[in-house]
Structure formats: C-alpha cells, structure tokens
Structure 1
C-alpha cells in the first residue's frame, strides 16, 4: 500500500487514476509485485490507508525511517545545510469577509457549524499571501522597475538540505502566510550535519535568528539585506553573490518536486497537507538516492 502512495505521489495521480494505471501498466504491477490475475486495491481502500497514516501522524516517522536508511548507506549530512521554502497551491476558498475574519481569529463561522457537509469542504488552515516575482518585459521592450505581487492561496513547504548530497534532512509544512524566518528556530536546523554553516536568503536574516544560530553553534551564511533607501555596499554585494552560488542549490529541489511530482495539495486541512508534502519529500529523497547510487556505480 505504501508503494502505491509512492507511485501516486511520483506521478501526481488521483486515487481513481492510480487504480486505472496500476491495472493498465505492467511496470506499475511489477513494482508492486502484482500479477495479472491479482486484485488491485480500489480508490476507496487507498484513501482509507492514506487517511489512517495521516491521522496517526506517521509521515514524520516514515521520513525519519528512510533518512536512517540513507545514513546507513553512507549519505550522512555533510558540508553544511541550506534552508528555503516554497509555496504549495491548494484549491481556492471563496469566503466572505466575515468568514475570513472568523478564521483569522481561530473561530469556525456560525453558518458552517450548522452545515457539517459544508464545513468538511472548507479549508480552515490554508491562507492567502502575496507571491513576488520579477516583472516580465512588456511588448514595447520596457521592463517595470517593481516586482509583481501575485495573490496566492495554499500552504508552504519549508526544507533544510545538506550541501554535500542535496538530500532533504528536515522539513515542515505551514500555511502560506507563515514567516520563513521563524521556522529556522522551530526545528528546521539539522544538528547532526558534519559542518556548522547555514545558508539561506534574506527572509531568514534577523537578530533573533543570528543570536539563535550563534548560541546553537551554527555559522551564519545568510544573505544580508539591502539598507533601507541606500545602495547596497559593494562588499556586501560580493558576499551575497558568493553565498548565492551555494544557496541556489536548494532551488533545484523545489524545481524537481514541482516538475516531477506536480506538487499540489488537493486535500483539506493542514494535517492532510502535511501528509502530501511529506510524501513528496520522501519520494524526492528516494529519487535522489537512486541517482547518487548510479553516480557512485559509474565512478
């Protein structure tokens, strides 16, 4: 059953589509150890299995279990760690201003309480935020001087990878409006890494984080922010450029997850979103592990 979840996550499939493709593809059947005459678990059975894992909070233990396999194979966290976060889209909620105010206050709107079926389809944990992106060139050849702010609804995946093997070592799922920097002090740092350096972008630069890393014995390689209403000093520019060469490696992890697994939350609630994001992280580590093994075999 867990192998089925791996197939489903790797190919970004719904429960019904997964059932169809397992019956249709011999490669899927071989991976699952099924014969042509064997029965394939239906979509409802897979949903129940995933739901039981979700309610038990098993995804963190499953991730740690595979991480132990990586360590036993010789892939220890080495050469420091890189932190970053990416937005994960979820189905948009059409709520009134009063309902939004109740959700921000941590209350369930009264209208939803009286309609249990409606409440079960309302995501009370996903949040709206602004996603800033570089403005594209216009038809007249000009490029706007300001970045574009695009409204985004969903969750956020926070990860910490080791610099040596680019494997995910720590992760956390939050709503999309959660602060990136606060997660650094919330268990995202990996204390078992053989090096103490920590790379991250300016979202993680704060006095609280710098003091926390110094107290915990980490060496900060976090990007420095541009002074307010002043040009960036030349030496800070050069320092940030050198850090970007290393920090940018974490972007390849998110690009792989979104291109290969189509990282998207179709479920309702932070608990199920955590399960989805955790599965995507495990599957990424599995694929990365196989790639590293092939590289070592060729060498």
Structure 2
C-alpha cells in the first residue's frame, strides 16, 4: 500500500484559497507540523496496492472533528463540503475525502506505541520553546466522565439465579465524587497556571482516587503546585519541599486536628488560583463532546481524550497569540 499524494493545487484551488481565513487557518499556524510528520511516519510502503492518506492529513481531520464536536461520519461530510476544512487538512478540491472508516482505523493507529502521547508532548515542547508555558505553577485536578455504555445490571432480587448482566465497556468502573456516583472514567490533568495549557494528562477508570496518580501530574520545573484538599498528604508536602517546589495544596482537617485560622485563609487564596483549572474541563465537556465517553473501551477513549487535550492546547495558544499584548510578550 502506497501513501497517496494529496494537496496538489490547481488554478481553482488557488482562486478559492484567496478567500478570507478561518479559525482553522489560525490554529494550523501555531505549530511546526514537520516534527509531527516525522513522529507519525509514513502509513504506506513503496509497493503496489491501494493508496493510503498521509498521517498528517488524518490527524488534522481528527482535530477538526474535535473542535466542531463531530462524529466520524459527520466529519467526513464536513470535509467533503467545507472549504475551510479541506484547506486545514491539506486536501485540494479534486482530492478524495477520507471516509469515516479510514478515520476510525487511524484513531486506532494512534494508540500504538504511545504515539498519541508523543504527539501531545511534541506540541507542548514547541509551546515551551516559544515561552508560552510560563511554569509559575501547575494546577492539578480530576474530573469524572461517564462511560458511553450502561453500567452492569445487578442480579434480580426476584430471580437470584439470574446472573448480573455485564457492561459493554468492561474497562469502566464506578467512582464517586461528593454524593455523585458515576460509572466511567476519570481524567487527571496538570495545567500551567499562566495560560491554562494542559501539560500533563492521565486517564484512569473512575474508581481511582484523585490523589493516587497526582505525582504524575507534576512537571518538576514549576515554581508551585496548586490543588484541592484531596491532594494534600504530609509525604507529598515533604517531597515538594525537597525539590524546591512550593506546596500550594489546600490543607484538610482530620479527626485529630482542625484547620487553623491561617490554614483556612491560605486555602481561600489557593482556591482562587486553582479555580482556573476548570477552564480546560469546561471546554472539553461543553465544546468537545466529553460530557460522556465516545467509545467502549479504555484504549480508544484514551486516544480521544489526549486528542481533545491536543486540540484544546492548539486552540488555546491560537487565542493567546491573537492578543497583541501576548504576541509581543512571546516575541
């Protein structure tokens, strides 16, 4: 299977491309795509066979689908119909549009060998090189996302011999936050306090406590770490102090010690700073369709979550650079 050549522009393409730019054009310009192409590699060999789309084209397709909260069939239709989509993904007017099964298969390819995580890291590496990640502090938080599948059904009380019906998604688990129980997954993030760019992303089933994977969310180069009471432990406090990172995790009372007036005041100040961590979750859930998981297992859902974080960071940086003051500050 050979990699098909796309994006060869005709006179008609050149005339169409003179139309005004869209937000997709702005987002596409915030990163250098060459290192991403190198990471993705070629999808086809040199032999005969059906041609395959370049990986960069398909990655751009999936990102466009996330920004517009589209299913794969709807994304296929949008790419075929909208000039801004074709321009962003790199297809000319006469190129064939990738169908939804091609997009589905490529999403599975991103799960292999940690490829999607490498893409996320490369995008952030470029933002760090441009001084868009300020490292003044990391905001840590977690959020429950319900599974697409229904939870397993309990055995009937009337018929005890009837076994419980398992869920279609065997990787999801029950989790609880406050009084709310959710069958699904949990997203854990470490967010740069300056521009709310997501620097660390970790996904677990919903049963995992917020504090268990917390150390994976710290980057080691930030000046402080901010989080709610769920993250505070004496051991973590000592570890942060040893590495020279300020502990701004909210204190919590226990049955032996109530919070002092100073700790209560400090918690209020921390809460004001860490509140910004809600911005990425609001975008992921309200705009990118992550109010509920899209697929029926951990691996496919993880790819979608990390892709959504890539999409968020790209869109966030495009917004930052559109501000004259921020553009001047970043040189």
Q: What is the 5 A alignment of 1:158-197?
A: 158-185=188-215, 187-193=216-222, 195=223, 197=224
Q: What is the 5 A alignment of 1:1-299?
A: 1-97=58-154, 122-132=168-178, 149-185=179-215, 187-193=216-222, 195=223, 197-228=224-255, 232-263=259-290, 264-295=292-323, 296-297=326-327
- List gaps (5 residues or longer) in structure 1: 99-110, 112-117, 133-148
Question: CA-to-partner distance for each residue in 1:155-192, whole Å, 9 max, x for gaps?
Answer: 1111111222221111111111111111123x211013
Q: What secondary structure does 2:111 align onto?
A: helix
Question: CA-to-partner distance for each residue in 1:86-124, whole Å, 9 max, x for gaps?
Answer: 1122213342558xxxxxxxxxxxx9xxxxxx99x8322
Indicate if the aligned counterparts of 2:196 and 2:279 stay in contact, CA closer than 8 A.
no
Distance in 2, Cα, partners of 1:214 & 1:289: 31
Question: CA-to-partner distance for each residue in 1:275-296, whole Å, 9 max, x for gaps?
Answer: 1110111111101111111112
TM normalised by structure 2 equals 0.73
- List gaps (5 residues or longer) in structure 2: 1-57, 156-162
Shift of 1:298: 7.6
Q: What secondary structure does 2:114 align onto?
A: coil
**Root-mean-square deviation over aligned CA pairs:** 2.4
Indicate if the aligned counterparts of 1:181 and 1:209 stay in contact, CA closer than 8 A.
no
Instruction: Go from structure 1 to structure 2 and tell me whether the alpha carbon gap of 1:289 and 1:226 turns closer, same or farther (over 3 Å shift).
Output: same
- The structure having more radius of gyration, on CA atoms, is 2
The runs of at least 4 aligned residues of structure 1 exceeding 6 Å deviation read: none
Shift of 1:230: 8.2
Q: Which has the higher contact order (CA 8 A, sep 6+)?
A: 1
Distance in 1, Cα, partners of 2:102 & 2:133: 37
